[in-house]
Structures are given as structure tokens and as C-alpha cells.
Amino acid sequence: MRKRRSAVLAAVILIISVVGCSLQPQPFNLFAPEPTEPVPTPTPVVLIATPTPLPPDLIAQADAFDIEELLVTNVYERVSTSVVHIAARVVVMDFFYGAMPQEGTGSGFILDRDGHIVTNNHVVEGAESIEVTLFDSTKVPAEVVGTDPANDLAVIRIDVPSSKLDPVELGDSADLRVGQRAIAIGNPFGLDWTLTAGVVSSLGRPLQIDEQRYLYNVVQTDAAINPGNSGGPLLDSFGRVIGVNTAIRSGAENIGFAVPVDTVKRVVPALIEQGRYPHPWLGTLSYPITSEFASRLDLPVDQGMLIARVVKGSPADEAGLRGATTERVVGNLRYYVGGDIIISINGNLLTDSESLTEYLETQTRVGDVVTLVIRRDGEQKEIELTLGEQPQ
């Protein structure tokens, strides 16, 4: 028994000695042979690397778990190749009235494999020459195909092999919801192919771009938009275009605006085919009626549009609408009264001049037949009118 214990004890001591030696740091041997350099692993050659869109169920899952990186990086990998850098050169007059070239930059996105690119009108307006840089650094000249200042949209075209063109996918304005993700890709301050992300902050806003022009149904977003982003796409989580980034609120942070994609779908085909977009027109000059205005002029209604003048040869003239028949002075103001009062168009009540312009711009096309409800000589009647094209 004692011999067995001695044998076991000796075995344990031997094991501890071996393990202890293995745990001790080994001394550095100056004469040890140099280690053999590892053989590098060959790098696989990628022939085609096209990012695969995430399936809808995975996007829904990512949204549920707020996996921001998964969504945003996938959109960038797929859509950044569709975004272009635009450099437009214009000639301005210096202090001594000498011609001086200036260059402005903006963004755009590839619409089709024919080389058509959508951007803002103000990016290329008045340009003497335009240069487009593709994602692979290819630089090519571009020509203006068509412009529509009223909607701040333009189409330019480049001549490159179709294999270099990666068109975008267009979404639908009707599917947009406040709070959904919004992703902008563009070239702010010359920092090419920059991505910013946020949400859709509001929908359906009118945006006044100058004293006479409004952009209707714009998409408001808090995704950072800066100079150079103009003309670039605003995207949803699927990488579909939901708007064209066009403006920011002066003096405010994270308030940007985009022309809605439905406006792009309506206007751009006409720009490609005709070089311009024909805006529908009644052919009247009118006063918007308010309660105070109606009280001052003893009008029979307190909302609508009082026609002051009908343009000769216009759709309103051909439909028999009547303008003012007399003048009235109220205070220091002169009004032309006695004309027809337009109450509604296609069942939509008119509350001010912008409500009429917005309806015509967003809901109708040149050649459409609309029904007007008017007040004339104390009676209400309906008149059908075929919309014409607004003069340039």
C-alpha cells in the first residue's frame, strides 16, 4: 500500500513538473534557426461584385430591430453607382463688365441606359458647359435635354456605353409616410458620394422658391442636405428614389426639401420628348375671395375666385367665362368687379389663388377637360373647359 502511494505521488510530481515547464516562458536563443516566412494566402479575384438587394422580409426585420447599418450600407452599395457629380460652368460679368467663368457643382442620378440624368434646373441653369463625373471617375460632357424651372427639374444626357450606366428605381409618393427612413446621396461641398440619413419629416408642403413660384407636395426631411446635394436622390429603405433634393431652410438645421418623385414621373418624360413641360392653364386673372373681401365688395359668396380678366383666345375665353364689367374703389384700392366667380374645379373648392394653381399643376394635364362651378348673375352653373398650355 505504501509503495502504491509512493508511485502515485511520484507520477503526480512528474506531471506537475512537465506542465510547469510548459507554462514557463522560453528563453530567447540567439543561435536558434530563423523561422520560415509564412506563405501568403492567394487573394481571390472577384470578377463581378454587384450588391444584392435585401429581400423585403429582411428589410422589415431590420426595421423592427433598428439595424441601421444593414439597411443604409446596402442602399449605398447599390445606388451610389447611379449618382453622378455635375460641374456646370456659367459666364458672369465681373466688376469691370468683363466675362468671367464660374463653376458650380451639384448632383444628379442616372434615369435610364440612354444616358438621361435627372437633376435640378438651378444646377444647370444658364450653363455654358456641363461635365458629369460617374462613380468610376469617368468624366464626360453633357448636354441639356429639357428644363422646367417651375418644378426645378432638368434632364441632361451623356454619351457613354450603356454598361457604364446603372439606372435608379423610382418609388411612389403615395406610399410615403412621415417617420419612414430617408437617405440622401450626393456631393455636398465637393465631398463626392456622401451619404446622409434621417427620416421623412413631413409631406405635402408647398415651398415658395421665389415671389411667383411654388413647389407643391414637397418632401421634408431631416437628412442633412447641403450645397452640392442639389439634384441628388432622396431614397427609401429599398433604395428607390422618393424625391430630388432641392432646397434647405435658411438659418435652420436639418430641414431640407425634395421635389416628390411623382412630380418627376409627371414632368421628366415631357422634358425628354419635348424639352419642356406644358403647364395647364385656364387663362384668367382673378382675385381670391375672403370673408373680408366679400364684405367690402358685397359679393354673394365668401370664398372662391373672382375673375377680373379673361385672356382673349384662352381656354376660359373659349368656354365663355366672363371677366369684370365695372370698377370699384374701396379705400385706396381699385377693383375690377362684375365677373364670374369660380367656386370649384372638379368638385374641389377654391379657397385662394394657390389652391387653383396647385390643383392645376398637380392633378391635371394640358388637354384635360375640367368642370367649373361658377356664380353668375346670382345663379350657380357648371361649365366644362378644356385646359390649354400656359404661355411661356
Compute the Cα dihedral for 275, 212, 305, 312 and give only its sign: negative
Residue 167, classified by CB atoms within 10 Å of its CB into exposed (0-12), middle (13-18) or buried (19+), is: middle
Task: Single out the catalytic residue among 85, 116, 122, 279.
Answer: 122
How many whole angstroms separate alpha carbon 123 and alpha carbon 103? 10
Q: Is 47 helix (H, G, I), strand (E, B) or coil?
A: coil
How many whole angstroms separate alpha carbon 16 and alpha carbon 25? 16
How many whole angstroms separate alpha carbon 244 and alpha carbon 231? 6
Task: Single out the catalytic residue among 230, 237, 286, 344.
Answer: 230
8 A C-beta contact, residue 376 and residue 310:
no
Is 152 annotated in the active site? yes
Is 230 annotated in the active site? yes
SS (H, E, C) 47-75: CCCCCCCCCHHHHHHHHHHCCHHHHHHHH
8 A C-beta contact, residue 223 and residue 100:
no
Task: Single out the catalytic residue among 82, 107, 148, 152.
Answer: 152
How many whole angstroms separate alpha carbon 369 and alpha carbon 220? 32
Query: Which residue numbers are catalytic?
Result: 122, 152, 230
